[in-house]
Structure 1
């Protein structure tokens, strides 16, 4: 059994191999939550036995969030770093910006609305390292959203995602996750794919190295939720993309080519039958809708085989090559040195 170190935040910090920890928190119009969030993170990690940093990503906030983030940096020191995006690029891009800027061997992501509890961070990291995993995802088993219209679609989506992707998790939507940096940095996030990170991770590692852990969930205290019922429809569309890239990422021609062949065979059979009918019976086929359908299916066949494969393949190459980022950072930080990490035993701001 692992020895433990009691935390001042009433948490239990398991013994774990040496590492550096980066906590990434995307924030958009969360001015009231910045100070209490930074305080809770420092309380939860005050006795953390390894160097750590806190990255707060301002996703182009239009309220006083930038000022609150600047105040937090001055108050706590250089281990609290701010990544400011030039405009609102949405949560996925903000999370990717934080992951790119993180310098730790372990990266933990969480929401900035205080619904995730930083007290769970040491437990997730301990399990990640001690059980040799690549991802430990949080499971909000006792959710405090308070809206049935949000919980039911979320549960349906979780089951649908697990069934289609083959990654069996109870809660895909929880942002509190612990990753090995060398694994998550091999995955590029775009669009609104942050909720599918476990599925994307399964393209670079085995699902056996992905686990979940029950975490604390609080009701939102300040600000307004950025999620609505329309998210369910976006999840369905994103799920189609995830399914395609998980099954046909290395062979997109099999997917589009298969559809093209089906349409081509049906169209060819229709035109062959109409041609035989014209040749042997002399029947008029020029005005038959079936003739138009046959030609349409042949054209669709060529479209699926050529344009579809080319467009989808180029799109994936575009995002994975890094040629064009999904975000733009204002005044990016330099790598920094050991002084910009919170060291074990180091005091925090008063």
Structure 2
């Protein structure tokens, strides 16, 4: 990482900031996006870099990003993934490449306002937070397809996870780098980043603040009503990994013990009926139900043991990412902040 020192008369030097923006099929937004970022960060009291991650776009987004990066300077870095891995993988690639003490993320559709970033940085430092989440209180989206499902999802996520925020879906966030680097984003975990961050820091160190939101001007939204169902599945996964990620045997074992106790009670009753009362039990549905419950119990207990072995092996072997980079700006040649 290149070195930087505060210059005389530059009061309250802010930490180095990395801005990560994943883009997919956003060729028309490249120029206005980079322009808006530079305008919004013009008065930032510190060094900053911009990392744009092209998530396998086929419309020329990557090429246009590289062209504008050459025009603007080495502080603009471009990462192109070999194919479309999804927003989560693209965001993780940007986080891996970030060199700042603070990291800001936002979408590439220009609905988030980059001019909010300096204010979020100041607020995060003043409130001594590890994550400051944007809240699109006056969201400029379709009421039926976007706003209502989002509100329902936010309420459900807060209820299930215990991390109560108004807007989990807003990509405009500012993190402390040492905290977000303890979280590895896989699948579609970008929707629940505050929840995953709460697994490595105290929930009271996660805050939110209102940010501006604008209607999309260029390109087509990548989200639809089908995302609601994926959110429900992802929420179940988040709940499991947060509560039982390091001890899956407790989850599967509890279910196995529950069915095992029920099966044992049923068998005990049938033994009394058979040997005390002298009645036949061979054709009773309860017998088959008890056998089923005992078999299910053994399966869950065995699954719990295997899950514990896999978890311990995973943590012993280390973490791995699943995205693949096709081209990336040279980090050694990258600079901080555009020339004045």
Q: TM-score, normalised by structure 2?
A: 0.91
CA contact (8 A) 1:134 1:210 kept: yes
Work out which of the residue numbers 99, 105, 108 in structure 1 matches 2:101.
105
How far is 1:335 from its partner? 3.4
How far is 1:308 from its partner? 4.1
> Which region of structure 1 is more displaced relative to structure 2, 297-306 or 37-46?
297-306
Is residue 341 of structure 1 aligned with residue 336 of structure 2?
Answer: yes
Work out which of the residue numbers 11, 23, 31 in structure 2 matches 1:35.
31
Other-structure match for 2:3: none
How far is 1:273 from its partner? 1.4
Q: Distance in 2 between matches of 1:313 and 1:241?
A: 19
Other-structure match for 2:170: 174
How far is 1:124 from its partner? 0.5
CA contact (8 A) 1:22 1:103 kept: yes
Other-structure match for 2:4: none
Other-structure match for 2:52: 56
Other-structure match for 2:302: 306
How far is 1:258 from its partner? 1.4
Is residue 183 of structure 1 aligned with residue 179 of structure 2?
Answer: yes
Q: Distance in 2 between matches of 1:17 and 1:190?
A: 34
Other-structure match for 1:280: 276
Is residue 216 of structure 1 aligned with residue 216 of structure 2?
Answer: no
Deviations 1:82-122 (A, max 9, x none): 11111111111111110001010000000000100001000
How far is 1:181 from its partner? 0.3
- 1:89–1:164 CA distance, 2 compared to 1 (3 A): same
Secondary structure, aligned partner of 1:331: strand
Q: Distance in 2 between matches of 1:27 and 1:233?
A: 23
Q: Distance in 1 between matches of 2:313 and 2:118?
A: 36
Deviations 1:219-264 (A, max 9, x none): 0111111111111111111111211222223333222221111110
Q: Distance in 2 between matches of 1:189 and 1:50?
A: 28
Secondary structure, aligned partner of 1:141: coil
Secondary structure, aligned partner of 1:137: strand
Q: Distance in 2 between matches of 1:285 and 1:16?
A: 82
- 1:320–1:62 CA distance, 2 compared to 1 (3 A): farther
CA contact (8 A) 1:27 1:112 kept: yes
Work out which of the residue numbers 86, 92, 103 in structure 2 matches 1:90.
86
Other-structure match for 1:243: 239
Secondary structure, aligned partner of 2:276: helix
- 1:147–1:112 CA distance, 2 compared to 1 (3 A): same
CA contact (8 A) 2:179 2:197 kept: yes
CA contact (8 A) 1:158 1:171 kept: yes
Q: TM-score, normalised by structure 1?
A: 0.89
Secondary structure, aligned partner of 1:275: helix
Work out which of the residue numbers 55, 65, 75 in structure 2 matches 1:69.
65
Other-structure match for 1:195: 191
How far is 1:148 from its partner? 1.8
How far is 1:319 from its partner? 8.5
CA contact (8 A) 1:16 1:130 kept: no
CA contact (8 A) 1:16 1:126 kept: no
Secondary structure, aligned partner of 1:167: coil
